Amino acid sequence: MKHIYLNLKRFDVPTEFGGVNRLAPVKDWGKAIVSGTQEGLKKYDPSEVEFAQYFPEAHLLGAVEALSEGSPVQVGCQGVYRMDTAPGGNFGAFTTNRPAAIAKALGCSSVIIGHCEERNDLNGVLQEAGVTDTAAVNRILNKEIRLAVSRGLKVLYCIGEKDTELDRWQEVLREQLEIGLDGVDKSMVVIGYEPVWSIGPGKTPADKPYITKIARFVKEVTGGIDVVYGGGLKVDNAEMLASIDEIDGGLIALTRFTGEIGFYPDEYLEIIRTYLGK
């Protein structure tokens, strides 16, 4: 099984507000993305490849409502909170947070957890509180994963090492995997590998041997969980990533990095065609 994920981050912000959204008015943005991609994805065998798209919460209802009959798109959200509603317990005192219960109720079937941007945010909060325990973030993410899975949500769990961690990448990734997946039904999880040290302007992208080495390590530690490349699946690297047997898919974000930078449905479909070879 191949897995193609789309993390739409905050690509909904219009250009006049400093964002990259030239696609549709904000109120129609989620609908426009699902409508603009689902027909092109229907040609792929759902037993061979799955497609999940992670939207900011404001766009979940529009995305779900745009799903056509037999749509291959799994609408997903960008994270869940470390606590959830419970009968006889907390029925909704979660101001500003998104428990797994509402993600499911809104129509989500998948969630991305542990993306490097989420890890950076959690680390920043913990540092402000004086916490230096490097495992703390992984423990929080473990709670999120457990609650997501308990609600029947599939999880893309992201891991990765920074440039300051390259000399001990095995230790860092093993901690992220072992703590993050502790007590989790692994059949509901796919691992997204983000080489944080290689992502961004001016940085050298991770090459095929390095990605292959990491994917083998992850499969060894996890007992064979599927691994996708989370450093950005693009037209430029799609054929290379497709040639790595240990990689089971990829995570797409922006589709255009020069000129009118942004996410465009037709370019998203082109990336998928290039990666899958059809």
Least confidently predicted of 34-38, 125-129, 132-136: 132-136
Q: What is the pLDDT of residues 154-196, one digit of tens each?
A: 999 999 999 999 999 999 999 999 999 999 999 999 999 999 9
Cα distances (Å, whole numbers) of residue 268 to 138, 153, 165? 31, 24, 32
Residue 115: active-site member: yes
Closest to 30 in 3D by CA, of 265, 272, 278? 265
Among 50, 144, 161, 194, the one annotated catalytic: 194
The C-alpha angle 190, 182, 187, rounded to 5 degrees, equals: 35
- Structural tokens at position 81: 């909170």
Number of domains into which the chain is organized: 1
Check whether 202 has a pLDDT greater than 90: no
Query: If phi over 0 gives left and psi between -120 and 50 gives alpha, with beta otherwise, what is residue 24?
Result: beta
Residue 260: active-site member: no
Quote the pLDDT of residue 28: 98
Quote the pLDDT of residue 253: 97
CATH code for the domain in which residue 137 is found: 3.20.20.70
Q: What is the pLDDT of residues 6-15, one digit of tens each?
A: 999 999 999 9
* Full domain range(s) for residue 17: 2-276
Q: What is the pLDDT of residues 233-243, one digit of tens each?
A: 999 999 999 99
Among 59, 115, 118, 144, the one annotated catalytic: 115
Q: What is the pLDDT of residues 241-267, one digit of tens each?
A: 999 999 999 999 999 999 999 999 999
Q: How confident is the model at residue 71 (pLDDT cuts 50, 70, 90)?
A: very high
Quote the pLDDT of residue 201: 82
